[in-house]
Amino acid sequence: MFEKIKRYKVIIISIVIIILAIFLYQKFVLDKKEDASINIVAVGGDVNGVGQEMIRLLYELNRIKFDTSIFEDPLFNSLVDHSLEVVAEPLGRPDPFAPIGSEVNTETTIAEPIDHRQDLLNINDD
């Protein structure tokens, strides 16, 4: 049996090399052709699998179109905001875990209220 292997050694090695070349061609060349549209977006060079997934998700998100005509509807514009303003409260110590009496800064700061209503009104500007 070993005599037959020695006899056909060149043929066996050639077949193994051809099979290996076909496998490598399918793995590296054909896979890149299928992902060409994603790779065009990735300008920074090679991207790993997680990066490819993020680019695909970003591409899908960019295709989403929102209908903003609801913001021009008279019914929507007649809505009234009944939210309460947050009252400014004094903040605590700079380091709440430090021993009492070791504060460097004994001055208390008052938090300013945050009003996001103007941001909501400017949605159409974006």
Q: How many domains would you assign to the chain? A: 1
Flag whether 10 is in a domain.
Answer: yes
Annotate 2-30 with DSSP letters as a single string: HHHHHHTHHHHHHHHHHHHHHHHIIIIII
Flag whether 44 is in a domain.
Answer: yes
Task: Supply the range of the domain harboring residue 22.
Answer: 2-62
Decide if 70 contacts 95 (C-beta within 8 A): no
The Cα–Cα gap between 71 and 32 comes to 44
Flag whether 102 is in a domain.
Answer: no
Flag whether 18 is in a domain.
Answer: yes
Tokens, residue 97: 């875990």
**pLDDT tens across the length of the chain (126 residues):** 677 777 788 888 999 999 999 988 888 877 666 555 554 444 555 556 778 888 888 988 888 888 888 889 999 999 999 988 888 888 888 888 888 877 665 555 555 666 666 666 666 554
Backbone angles phi, psi at 29, to 5 degrees: -85, -50
